[in-house]
């Protein structure tokens, strides 16, 4: 391997040049650089020998000496050396996945690799039965035949148990974020079939979201054209890098609408608890209380209608619409 370096020097008549990588061996004892003629303005084109270097960051220093024996200041170049594996060494022969918590390299759930290769389509059926409702992350990674693990690829998904829309078959499911566009005007979810007990996989678009706290709402309509209760999942969203997103589940509120019994479940307990305030549409407080556990149950004896529920802690404040029937 060699590093090609073009360089210009301006000084008195230059009659000698040399380079070294990382460690200075002393003036005049580094690797000489050959050039065709002396002068005070020369261009050096040479290949630096990097065959003995380890992959990583290195420093190349070039300096010149004039005919009076004076040395120039060193010209520094930083470069990163990457070892490119042979195609046969890059073939994938092991893959695994894990959900939420990394158990360590090689300790995830194995994904069968029938034959090593560089471009594989792998099939898996992740077990989700034991997971709680809410936002989760599934992570994938693969190892090549040389024993090197690649970067982790992750996807976020939500497990939600939709409140029943009655005993009739569910015919339509939709979702929206933050603002209700009206019944039937949310983003439609493709259903495998109608039924009372459906497992539905769908992707939620986050491309237009700003960083901060948001609420995802999901609802279903039955064969009698009646909409069921809304499932709500609050989450915090941030763009942490180019093409990298981060989501954190905050809380769930159910059922909504409610006959009076309302449950508020936080994903992570807050050390100082949280405060609850319920206001009518005129902004008048109708209920106030505190919760010190991650699950809080309210029994609201209030007139039917729409209310605004405010959840406050030392870390954030989020508002949520509640319907009492």
Task: Kindly report, residue by residue over 48-98, the tens digit of the pLDDT.
Answer: 888 888 877 888 888 888 888 888 878 888 877 766 555 556 788 888 888
Clarify whether residues 137 and 74 are in a common domain. no
Clarify whether residues 172 and 236 are in a common domain. yes
Distance between CA atoms of residues 146 and 162, nearest Å: 46
Task: Kindly report, residue by residue over 139-167, the tens digit of the pLDDT.
Answer: 888 888 888 888 787 777 777 665 554 45
The domain containing residue 127 runs over which residues? 87-153
pLDDT on residue 141: 86
* Domain containing residue 296: CATH number: 2.60.40.10
Task: Indicate the residue among 81, 104, 127 that finishes a domain.
Answer: 81
Is 189:203 a contact under the CB 8 Å cutoff?
A: no
Higher pLDDT, 217 or 253: 217
- Strand, helix or coil for residue 324: strand
* Domain containing residue 69: CATH number: 2.60.40
How does the average pLDDT of the chain come out, rounded?
75
Clarify whether residues 149 and 186 are in a common domain. no
> In 69-227, which ranges are E strands?
75-81, 92-99, 109-111, 134-144, 153-159, 170-177, 187-189, 212-222
Tell me how many domains the chain contains.
4
pLDDT on residue 279: 82
Give the other-Cβ count within 10 Å of 185's Cβ.
10
Task: Indicate the residue among 113, 129, 153 that finishes a domain.
Answer: 153
Of 13-27, 59-73, 192-206, 208-222, the poorest mean pLDDT is in 192-206
């Amino acid at each position: 391997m060699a590093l090609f370096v073009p360089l210009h020097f301006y000084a008195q008549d230059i009659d000698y040049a040399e380079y070294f990588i990382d460690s200075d061996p002393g003036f005049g004892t580094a690797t000489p650089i050959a050039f065709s003629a002396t002068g005070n303005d020369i261009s050096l084109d040479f290949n630096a020998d990097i065959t003995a270097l380890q992959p990583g960051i290195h420093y190349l220093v070039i300096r010149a000496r004039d005919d009076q024996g004076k040395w120039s200041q060193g010209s520094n170049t930083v470069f990163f050396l990457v070892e490119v594996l042979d195609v046969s060494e890059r073939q994938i022969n092991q893959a695994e996945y894990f959900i939420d918590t990394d158990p360590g390299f090689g300790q995830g759930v194995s994904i069968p690799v029938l034959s090593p290769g560089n471009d594989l389509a792998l099939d898996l059926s992740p077990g989700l039965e034991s997971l709680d409702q809410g936002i989760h992350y599934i992570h994938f990674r693969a190892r090549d035949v040389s024993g090197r693990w690649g970067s982790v690829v992750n996807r976020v998904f939500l497990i939600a148990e939709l409140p029943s829309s009655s005993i009739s078959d569910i015919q339509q499911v939709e979702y929206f974020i933050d603002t209700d566009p009206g019944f039937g005007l949310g983003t439609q979810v493709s259903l495998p079939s109608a039924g009372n007990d459906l497992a539905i996989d769908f992707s939620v678009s986050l491309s237009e979201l700003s960083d901060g706290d948001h609420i995802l709402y999901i609802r279903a309509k039955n064969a009698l054209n009646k909409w069921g209760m809304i499932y709500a999942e609050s989450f915090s969203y941030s763009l942490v890098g180019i093409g990298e997103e981060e989501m954190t589940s905050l809380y769930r509120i159910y059922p909504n609408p409610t006959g009076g019994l309302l449950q508020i479940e936080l994903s992570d307990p807050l050390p100082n608890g949280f405060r609850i305030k319920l206001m009518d549409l005129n902004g008048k407080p109708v209920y106030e209380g505190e919760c010190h556990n991650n699950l809080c149950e309210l029994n609201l004896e209030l007139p039917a209608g729409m209310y605004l529920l405010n959840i406050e802690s030392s870390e954030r404040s989020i508002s949520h619409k509640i319907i009492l029937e």
